[in-house]
Amino acid sequence: MKILIPLLGVILLASACSKQDNKVIARVGAEKITEAYLQDKFAEISPAAQEYLSSKPGRRQFLDVLIHERLMLMAAKKSRVASGAGYKTQVTQKEEEMKATLAAYKDFMLTKMWVEDMRGGELKVTEDEVRDYYRKYPYKVTLAHILMADKETAESVYKKLKSGADFEKMAKEHSLDRETVRLPPVMYGEFMPELEDMAFKMRVGETQGIVKTPLGFHIIKKLAQDIENEPMALDRVRKILEKKKFDAYLSKFQEKIKVEVLDENYK
C-alpha cells in the first residue's frame, strides 16, 4: 500500500499533464489548436521575443498568428494548387529526399552502434596490450612529404633533392598535396604501412624515397623524433590497437565477400 500511493500520485500527475497538453485553446473550423501545439510553436520563437509573448496581450497576438497560419493552410488545401502537377512534383521530390536521408541515417546509426558494440568484444584492448605496445613503440615522428602521380616525376625530384634542392620548395612545386607538406606527428601504427618502417628507421634530417602507395609515389623527410608523453600516448595506442583489430576483422570478413572494381578509371 505504501508503494501504491506514491505510484498513483505519479500516474495522476502524468494524466493531468497529458490533459493540459491536449487542452484545446482555439478552434479553426473543424481543426483544433491545442496547448501542446501552441507550446511547441512558442519554443521556436527567439528568447528575446518570448518575454513579450508570455504576457496576456502577447499570448493573444501569438495565437492570432497561429490562427492566421491555419486559415492560410486550409485555404491552400482547397485551392487549385493542391491538385496541380507543380505542387505534387515538389512533394514527390521532397519525399524521395527524405527517404534517402532516412536510409543514410539508418546505415550510419547501424554502423556506429555495431562498432560501439564491437569495442566491448572483438575490438577490446587490454591495459597490458596498451602498455606493451608503448614500451615497444614510444616514439612519435614528424615528417614532410612530397606526393607525385608518376614515378618519372618522383625520380626527377628525388635526384634534385639529393643534389641539395630545398625540400619544401620542391614540395610546393611538384607535390599533389602542396598544402600539407609538413605532416602532423605520428606514432608507429598511425602512418601509411608502406612508409612506416622507413620513417621510424630514418635519421632526423634524412630524406628517403621513392615509395609507391595507393595515393601515388612518395618522398619523405624526417624532421623530428621524440618520445610521446605517456598519458597522451596510451590513449593513442589504444586507438591504434583497436584499429588494427578492426582492420583484421574486416579483412577476414571480406574474404567471404566478392569485391570487384569494374571501372578501369578506378583500378
Instruction: Give residue 25's Cα distance to chain centre.
Output: 42
Say what the pLDDT of residue 20 is: 58
Residue 21 has pLDDT above 90, yes or no: no
Mean pLDDT of 55-61: 84
Residues in the chain: 267
Which pLDDT value is given to residue 112?
A: 96
Can you read off the three cell numbers belonging to residue 151?
614515378
Instruction: Determine the Cα–Cα distance for residues 178 and 164; give it in Å rounded to an integer.
Output: 20
Q: For residue range 135-154, what is the model confidence (pLDDT) as tens digits? A: 999 999 999 999 999 999 99
Consecutive H or E run containing 245: helix 230-254
Query: Cα(6)–Cα(113) distance, rounded to whole angstroms?
Result: 37
Helix, strand or coil for residue 190?
A: coil
Of residues 255 and 21, more confidence is placed in 255
Burial label, 157 (beta-carbon count in 10 A; 0-12, 13-18, 19+): buried
DSSP 202: S
Q: Could you give the C-alpha distances from 161 to 75, 175, 213, in angstroms and in order?
A: 75, 13, 20
C-beta of residue 144 within 8 angstroms of C-beta of residue 221: yes
pLDDT tens digits, 145-189: 999 999 999 999 999 999 999 999 999 999 998 888 899 999 999
Per-residue pLDDT tens over the stretch 209-241: 899 999 999 999 999 999 988 888 999 999 999
Highest mean pLDDT range out of 1-10, 15-24, 237-246? Answer: 237-246
